[in-house]
Copies of this chain bind each other. A is one copy, B any other.
Amino acid sequence: MPQVLPALSRKLALFQPVLPSERLLLQGLQRRIRHFEPGDELAYEGPHRSNAFILEAGWCYTFKVLPDGGRQIVTIKVPGDFLGWRTILLRTSDHGCTAITPVAASEIDHDQLRQVMVKAPRLAASILWAASRDEAMLVEHLTSLGRRDATLRMAHFFLELAARLNINGEVEDNSFDCPLSQYVLADLLGLTSIHVNRVLRKLREAGLMVLRNGRVTILDLAGMIALAGFDRAYLDQNGIDSGLKPT
């Protein structure tokens, strides 16, 4: 029996406590674990019935590709996140999903999920809360692309990421692992990888943050927050902050 659900239930507990009975229902959803290697596709764009997952371990990104070959990364997914849930009801998968690191994900049985939603309204509310929070992050990302310049986008993204990872206890000493290449950051933030490189250098030289060897360190938290105009209210995680401390 695989050890399951710590990340998801810890997140849901930010909304309301997960009762023992609900914990069992979640475990039922998380029985079928599948594994993927970096670069594997968990879902494809197109009109076929696509799978929904709970990401248990590892990182993925979801993306859209454009006719000209351009790619827009929509979200970075970390353990505890839902994957592909939007396509449970839509009849087409509107995006692809690729593993960044080795990934373990539990595949959701649609009928079983339907049962949970109908028979456990309280848990259903927790799940819909998490989905609403995902959408709020999407809106914030959209705002970044529309109205923040490259530097602010970068700073804002890493502050959000720290807050999300801290739910899983992955932030320590103002620092966390981050397996995102500059190419991925570029397609996420609507930039070129060349410009990502320059922006990261600027943040480093300003003493704000460093990304090196797959690890992020926030050097000046107050400076980052002021720069990005970051207000974590939209993450709705009052109980738990970014894990970062002023220096």
Contact = CB atoms under 8 A, between A and B. Distances in A.
Given A64-B143, A236-B92, A135 B86 contact: yes
Contacts of A206: none
B145 A91 contact: no
Nearest to A121: B118
Interface stretch (A21-29, A33-41, A125-133, A162-170): A125-133
A233 interface: yes
A229 B68 contact: yes
Contacts of A74: 139, 142-143
Contact of A90 (B129, B138, B143, B190): B129
Nearest to A236: B90
Contacts of A157: none
A234 interface: yes
Contact of A145 (B15, B86, B145): B145
A207 to B, nearest CB: 21
Given A90-B132, A135-B135, A145 B148 contact: no
Interface string A232-247: 0110101000000000
A214 interface: no
Contacts of A128: 89
Contact of A71 (B15, B94, B147): B147
A121 B132 contact: no
B117 A47 contact: no
A16 to B, nearest CB: 10
A222 interface: no
A151 interface: no
27 contacts: A64-B139, A64-B143, A66-B148, A67-B229, A72-B143, A72-B146, A74-B143, A87-B132, A88-B132, A89-B132, A90-B133, A90-B234, A90-B236, A92-B234, A94-B139, A94-B140, A94-B233, A94-B234, A95-B139, A114-B121, A118-B118, A135-B138, A138-B138, A142-B142, A145-B145, A145-B146, A146-B189
